[in-house]
Amino acid sequence: MLSRFDVLLGEAITTLRGLRRERGFTAVSILLLALGIGLTSAVFTLLWQVVYAQLPVPGAADIYTLATNVNHMGRSDSDAGATSSFSAPTYRYLSTHFTTASGTVARHGEMLNIETPEGPRHLLGGFVSGNFFDVLGLKPVLGRPILPRNDALSDDRFVVVLSYSFWEEAFGGQVSAWNSLIRVNGLPFRIIGIAPRHFTGLVSGQAPRIYMPLAAFGAVNPGWHAMDDWSIRWLNLFVRLPPTVPAARAEAQLQPVYGSAVREELATEGVQPADYLAELAHEHLSLVPASQGVHGMFDRWQQPLQVLLWMTAAVLLLTCLNVAGLAVVRSIKQRQEVLIRFAMGATRGAVMRLYFMQTLALSVAGGLAALWIARRGAELLLHLGQMDRSGALVAQPSGYVLGLHWAAVIAAGLFVGLIPAWYAARIDLATGLSETAFTHSSVRSHAFGRRALAATQIALSLALLIAAGLFAKSLYNLISVPVGFNPKHLMLFSIDPKLAGSTVENTEFLYSRIEKRLKGAPGIASATYGTGGPFPQGADMAVMIPGSHLAGAKHQSGIRSIIGPGYFRTLGIPLVAGREFDERDRPNTPEGVIINETLAHKLFGDANPVGQTVTMFNGLDPNWLATVIGVVEDFHVSWKRSKAPLLYT
Convert the pLDDT of each residue in 389-430 to its tens digit: 555 667 777 778 888 888 888 888 888 777 777 766 666 555
Does residue 446 carry a pLDDT above 60?
no
pLDDT tens for each residue of 320-374:
777 777 777 666 665 656 555 555 555 665 666 777 777 888 888 888 888 888 8
Burial 604-626 (b: 16+ CB within 10 A, else e): beeeebbebebbbbbbbebeeeb
What percentage of the chain reaches a pLDDT higher than 90? 21
Which pLDDT band, with edges at 50, 70 and 90, does 435 fall under?
Answer: low
Give the best-scoring range by mean pLDDT among 22-26, 211-215, 320-324, 578-582. Answer: 211-215
Q: Per-residue confidence at 14, pLDDT binned at 50, 70, 90?
A: low
The torsion of the CA quartet 227, 233, 234, 237, rounded to 10 degrees, works out to: 100
Taking alpha carbons only, the member of 353, 360, 351 closest to residue 413 is 360
DSSP annotation of 455: H
Greater confidence (622 vs 398) lies with 398
- DSSP strands (E only) in 517-564: 541-546, 556-561
Please, which pLDDT band fits residue 130 given cuts at 50, 70 and 90?
Answer: very high
Asked if residue 15 has pLDDT above 90, the reply is no
Query: How far apart (Å, rounded) are the C-alpha atoms in residues 295 and 306?
Result: 16
pLDDT of residue 6: 55
Out of 127-141, 251-265, 619-633, which region has the weakest mean confidence (pLDDT)? 619-633
φ, ψ for residue 238, nearest 5 deg: -135, 145
Residue 78, pLDDT > 90, answer no
Whole-angstrom Cα distance, residue 118 to residue 182? 12
pLDDT of residue 438: 47
In angstroms, rounded to a whole number, what is the distance separating the alpha carbons of residues 570 and 593? Answer: 18
Q: What pLDDT was estimated at residue 198?
A: 85
Check whether 439 has a pLDDT greater than 60.
no
Mean pLDDT calculated for residue range 82-104: 89
Residue 1: per-residue pLDDT: 47
For residues 231 and 131, the model is more confident at 131
Query: For residue 181, what pLDDT is reported?
Result: 92
User: Looking at the predicted structure, is the pLDDT value of residue 242 above 60?
Assistant: yes
- State whether the Cα torsion 347-348-353-354 is positive or negative: positive
Residue 219 in this model has a pLDDT that exceeds 50 = yes
Look at 173 and 429; give whichever has higher pLDDT: 173
Instruction: Give the span between the Cα atoms of 446 and 378, in whole angstroms.
Output: 41
pLDDT for the residue numbered 82: 54
**Over 60: is that where the pLDDT of 436 sits?**
no
**pLDDT attached to residue 136:** 94
pLDDT of 51 higher than 80: no
- Asked if residue 209 has pLDDT above 80, the reply is yes
Beta-carbon neighbour count of residue 489 at 10 Å?
Answer: 9
How does the average pLDDT of the chain come out, rounded? 79
Query: Which of 233-247, 362-376, 431-445, 552-566 has the weakest average pLDDT?
Result: 431-445
Instruction: Work out the pLDDT band at 275, boundaries 50, 70, 90.
Output: confident
CA 188 to chain centroid: 31
- Supply the pLDDT for residue 251: 93
Could you tell me which residue, 100 or 429, shows the higher pLDDT?
A: 100
* Mean pLDDT of all residues in 171-189: 91
Q: What is the model's pLDDT at position 135?
A: 94
Least confident of 55-59, 445-449, 453-457: 445-449
Rounded Cα gap, residues 646 and 606, in angstroms: 18
User: pTM above the 0.85 mark?
Assistant: no
- Per DSSP, the chain holds a count of helices (H) and strands (E) of 18, 19
pLDDT at 388: 54
Asked whether the predicted pLDDT for residue 258 surpasses 90, the reply is yes
Average pLDDT score over residue span 186-202 = 91
Residue 604 pLDDT exceeds 80 = yes
Burial class, 532, CB count within 10 angstroms (exposed 0-12 / middle 13-18 / buried 19+): middle
Which one-letter amino acid corresponds to residue 117?
Answer: P
Contacts of 485 (CB under 8 A, 6+ apart): 534, 571, 572, 573, 635
Range among 400-409, 456-465, 581-590 with highest mean pLDDT value: 400-409
Task: State yes or no: pLDDT of 584 exceeds 90.
Answer: no
